[in-house]
């Protein structure tokens, strides 16, 4: 399950760098939850061919992330923005002004990423 999530994320970022054929097969595996046999039949290739293609796509996508680290950077930003949202919600409850300073500080930190 976790693997599928990681594959989905990498695909969201770098999927456009795959060929159309690779994308089609990869999407069937990762997003459409199809079995290798089903895809093999649909695409007119062997089951082993589907398996190899998926492994190759995994390698290509991970290779881009290794170089660019954009998924990592985005996740970092999202986590900080999520924190801002929570702080704003908390402030509305307890009115602690230091939460506003914290929101300012986090947004400034994100600006520097």
Query: Which stretches of the chain bind its own copies, using CB under 8 A?
Result: 13-14, 16-17, 64, 67-68, 70, 77-78, 81-82, 84-85, 88-89, 91-92, 97, 100, 103-104, 107-108, 110-111
Our CB check for its own copies shows the closer of 33 and 66 to be 66
Shortest Å, Cβ 57 to its own copies: 16
Helices (H), the chain: 2-14, 20-30, 36-43, 47-68, 70-94, 98-112
Helix axes 47-68, 2-14, angle to 10 degrees: 70
65 vs 74: CA distance, rounded Å: 12
- Residue whose CB is less far from its own copies, 45 or 110: 110
Nearer to its own copies, 4 or 81 (CB): 81
Structure tokens at 70: 């954009």
Residue 106 Cβ, how far from its own copies at the closest point, in Å? Answer: 9
């Amino acid at each position: 399950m976790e693997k599928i999530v990681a594959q989905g994320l990498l695909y969201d970022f770098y999927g456009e760098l795959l060929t159309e054929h690779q994308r089609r097969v990869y999407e069937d595996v990762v997003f459409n939850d199809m079995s290798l046999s089903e895809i093999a039949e649909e695409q007119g290739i062997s089951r082993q061919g589907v398996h190899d293609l998926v492994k190759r796509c995994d390698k290509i996508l991970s290779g881009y992330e290794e170089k660019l680290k954009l998924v990592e950077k985005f996740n970092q930003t999202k986590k900080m923005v999520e924190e801002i949202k929570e702080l704003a919600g908390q402030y509305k409850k307890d009115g602690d002004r230091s939460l506003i300073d914290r929101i300012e500080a986090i947004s400034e930190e994100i600006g520097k990423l």
